[in-house]
Amino acid sequence: MRPSNIILTILFCSLLACTSNREPSPPISAPTLEKGEAFFNNNNDSAFYYFNIVTTTATDSLEIAMAYTYMGIIQAHEGDHYGGQESLLKSLTYLDEHKKNDQECLGSNYHELGNICLNLKNYEAAIDYYHKALKYITQPNVEAIALNSIALTYQKKGDYAEAIDLYKSLLDKSKDDKKEYARVLSNYAKTKWLKDSAYPAGPELQHALQIRRDSNDIRGLNASYAHLSDYYTSSLPDSALYYALKRYEIAREMKSPDNEVEALSKLITLSPTNLLKPYFIRYQHLTDSIQTAKNAAKNQFALIRYEAAKSKADNLQLQKDNVQKKTQLLAQWFLLALTILFFITAGIILILRYRRRRQQIEFASRQAIQEHQLKTSQKVHDVVANGLYRIMTDLEYKPAVDKEELIDKIEVLYERSRDISYETPATSEIPFHTKIDDLLESFGSEHIKVLIIGNSPLLWSRINTQVQHEVEHILQELMINMKKHSLADAVMIKFESQNNQVQILYTDNGIGISPQVKYGNGLQNTGNRIKRIDGQYIFEHPAKGLKIHISFPIAQSS
């Protein structure tokens, strides 16, 4: 569950620097950041669990930020790039660029965000994050890694001239560090060859390989063999196959499934037909295992964060209930004491002045106290009953391991918690078009513009409440998917009525969805909702962004 050496270098040079700069804090009994780091260093799956606890229990903003940073790196390494991005951005909210102690952590966060954007092929964003990281990096070796990341991004983007210029400057700076020099030289030669297929990159690639052999740089050898295999594929296929086999051996030695898959892919391309079968079988097994592990990790991360949030909410509610009960008890005793004192005083005065009426006054006093106690008892019963009902509701919707069932239960729990948290007005209902406006606009921000067209009361006046309910959840799922995955900054939702049908057009300018992508549970559930209202939907895949056409028949409101 650990990231690559490059990430670890950034992480330990930056995050450990943050740790050394912090003021010593008194020991606490709760799991600490140091405990999470110990699990992380030992490649223990419990690391994410303890870092998540730190985010909900720590009071030091820097500790919380560092915990979120670790969580983001773990999530990204396990393939949950969007989850890792969310954790890293959360970490940034706890850091202040003007605080010197926070600056190392800012550099680490921005560099890892750059890595995630590079993996997602969002090259412009990756370069922007890497440049932000450079503002806070002070160590020369870490700066070289960040600059190499920028050069690699330019190479992936196809800006070979920019990459070559940057690699040239890095070659001069890294002459005293053999491993770094070999890495830059190999990347430089490959980029020159990518720019000009006639460029003789072989000698430079071989020189970098020899340096890595001499220094026993296993990960460096893996990269060199990959570069050499790519370089000789067209000109010397036998040499390309030789280096692909060497890379496969190194990947097996590293116990790196991702690198092994890449090596197998190259072997399948280059090997004779009679040798393909064992490579293909191993490739298929590894890809299935990697995908299964990534899906399991995503589910595990979601469950850990959900359980931690639920536990915190339950504890806060329990504390609140206890405080309320103590306050009510003290108030009752105080009121009772005042009442008794009042009646004793009144009784003494009345005894002195009205001896004959003493019995009547005492009887009336006792009766008043009994009535007051009865009313108070009824109020306490109502409060306790309501508290027990909340606890029973939480227990009833405890999530299971099954993913689809978990999603459904969380949605039910969310809707019921909204009903519990406030009292719905009994005398009026919010018009449906207003609810839709509020729902869609809630996803807008200074970075995301939401445009709503045609959402009028007349449009929904002929739609029954059940269909309205389904439409509300369809739109909510589309907007959540946009917020999490699309990277859009402009969204338009258009409503209109044609030929006794309601037409909804959703458009955004994000990264879109590939036609070959297998839709997740969210979009599958959305499709099922549309079918339940006898509707139809069409996904369009323009050059940029996404368009979704939804239509369903108009039914009289019930």
Instruction: For 230-283, write each residue's pLDDT tens digit.
Output: 999 999 999 999 999 999 999 999 888 888 888 888 899 988 888 888 888 888
Residue 518 is given by DSSP the state: P
Q: Let me know if residue 530 belongs to a domain.
A: yes
Per-residue confidence (pLDDT) for residue 161, from 0 to 100:
93
Q: Which of 84-93, 179-188, 275-284, 321-330 has the lowest mean pLDDT?
A: 321-330
Last residue of a domain, one of 388, 421, 454: 421
Q: Closest Cα to residue 552, out of 464, 437, 483, 442? A: 464
The residue out of 374, 398, 421 marking a domain boundary is 421
Residue 169 in this model has a pLDDT that exceeds 70? yes
3-state secondary structure of 289: helix
Chosen domain end from 141, 157, 173 = 157
pLDDT band (50, 70, 90) for residue 221:
very high
The alpha carbon torsion through 315, 320, 322, 325 (nearest 10 deg) reads -160
Q: What is the mean pLDDT of the chain?
A: 79
Alpha carbon of 107 to those of 12, 92, 110, 170, 456: distances in Å?
A: 12, 10, 5, 20, 48
Residue 160: per-residue pLDDT: 94
How far is residue 336's CA from residue 463's CA, in Å, rounded to a whole number?
Answer: 57
Confidence check: pLDDT of 526 > 60: yes
Domain count, the chain: 3
- Give pLDDT, residue 377: 43
pLDDT at 75 over 80: yes
Is residue 373's pLDDT more than 80?
A: no
Residue 292 CA from chain centroid, whole number: 19
For the residues 546-557, what does the mean pLDDT come to? 84
376 and 471 together in one domain: no
**SS3 of residue 466 by DSSP:** helix
Which of 75, 51, 78 is closest to 65 using CA atoms?
A: 51
Say yes or no: 438 and 417 in one domain. no
Q: Please report whether residue 427 resides in a domain.
A: no
Q: What is the pLDDT of residues 286-333, one digit of tens each?
A: 888 777 766 765 666 655 655 555 555 555 666 676 777 777 778 777
Distance (Å, rounded) from C-alpha 266 to C-alpha 241? Answer: 8
pLDDT in tens, 15-47: 444 443 444 333 434 457 777 777 777 665 678
Tokens 């010397």 correspond to 236
Residue 151 placed within a domain: yes
pLDDT of the residue at 173:
86
Q: Pick the residue with more confidence: 50 or 204?
A: 204
pLDDT at 450: 94
Q: What is the CATH number of the domain that holds 11?
A: 1.25.40.10
**Closest among 239, 224, 228, 246 to 270, alpha carbons compared:** 239
Question: Could you tell me if residue 185 is inside a domain?
Answer: no
CA distance 380 to 504: 50
Mean pLDDT of the region 432-443: 91
pLDDT digits (tens, 9 = 90+) for 320-337: 767 777 777 787 778 888
Tell me how many helices (H) and strands (E) the chain has.
21, 5
Same domain, 502 and 367: no
Better pLDDT: 334 or 89: 89
**Spatial CA neighbour of 97 closest among 72, 65, 69, 145:** 65
Residue 195: which of 171, 165, 239 has the closest Cα? Answer: 165
Are residues 70 and 105 in contact, defined by beta-carbon separation less than 8 angstroms?
no
In-domain check, residue 408: yes
d(CA 464, CA 158): 54
Average pLDDT rounded to a whole number, residues 514-523:
64
More confident residue, 305 or 146: 146
Task: Mark whether 517 and 393 lie in a shared domain.
Answer: no
What Rg, from alpha-carbon coordinates, does the chain have? 32
Count the neighbouring beta carbons within 10 Å of the beta carbon of residue 138: 12
Lowest pLDDT segment from 147-161, 397-411, 523-537: 397-411
Residue-wise pLDDT for 486-511, tens only, equals 889 999 999 999 989 999 999 999 98
d(CA 131, CA 107): 9
343 shares a domain with 461: no
Residue 529, domain CATH: 3.30.565.10
Quote the DSSP letter at residue 517. Answer: P
550 SS3 class:
strand
Whole-number pLDDT of residue 519: 61
Contact 147, 166 (CB under 8 A): yes
Does the pLDDT of residue 430 top 90, yes or no?
A: no
Alpha carbons 217 and 204: distance in angstroms, whole number: 17
Q: Which two tokens stand for residue 34?
A: 């140091």
- Identify the weakest region by mean pLDDT among 112-116, 173-177, 180-184: 173-177
- The residue behind tokens 């504890």 is 315
Structural domain contains residue 204: no
Do 497 and 503 touch, CB atoms closer than 8 A?
A: yes
Shared-domain flag, residues 120 and 43: yes
Res 392: pLDDT:
39
On whether residue 277 sits in a domain, the answer given is: no
**Does 58 share its domain with 80?**
yes
Q: What's the one-letter identity of residue 200?
A: P
State the Cα–Cα distance between residues 112 and 130, nearest whole angstrom: 8
**Whether residue 61 is found in the same domain as residue 129:** yes
- Whether residue 438 contacts residue 494, with contact meaning beta carbons closer than 8 Å, is answered with no
Average pLDDT score over residue span 123-138: 92
> To the nearest whole percent, how much of the chain has pLDDT over 70?
75
**Residue with tokens 């071989």, as numbered in its chain:** 206
Mark 381-398 as b/e (b = at least 16 C-beta within 10 Å).
eeeeeebeeeeeeeeeee
How confident is residue 212, by pLDDT bands cut at 50, 70 and 90? Answer: very high
Residue 539 near residue 547 (C-beta atoms within 8 A) = yes
User: For residue 355, what are its two tokens?
Assistant: 């001896």
Owner of token pair 């807008």: 444
What is the span of the domain harbouring residue 105?
1-157
Q: What integer is the mean pLDDT of 213-238?
A: 92
The whole-number pLDDT of residue 271 equals: 87
Q: 152 and 6, same structural domain?
A: yes
d(CA 47, CA 43): 8
Same domain? For 347 and 406 the reply is yes
Residues 363 and 511 occupy one common structural domain = no
Q: For 27-70, what is the HEC assignment? A: CCCCCCHHHHHHHHHCCCCHHHHHHHHHHHHCCCHHHHHHHHHH
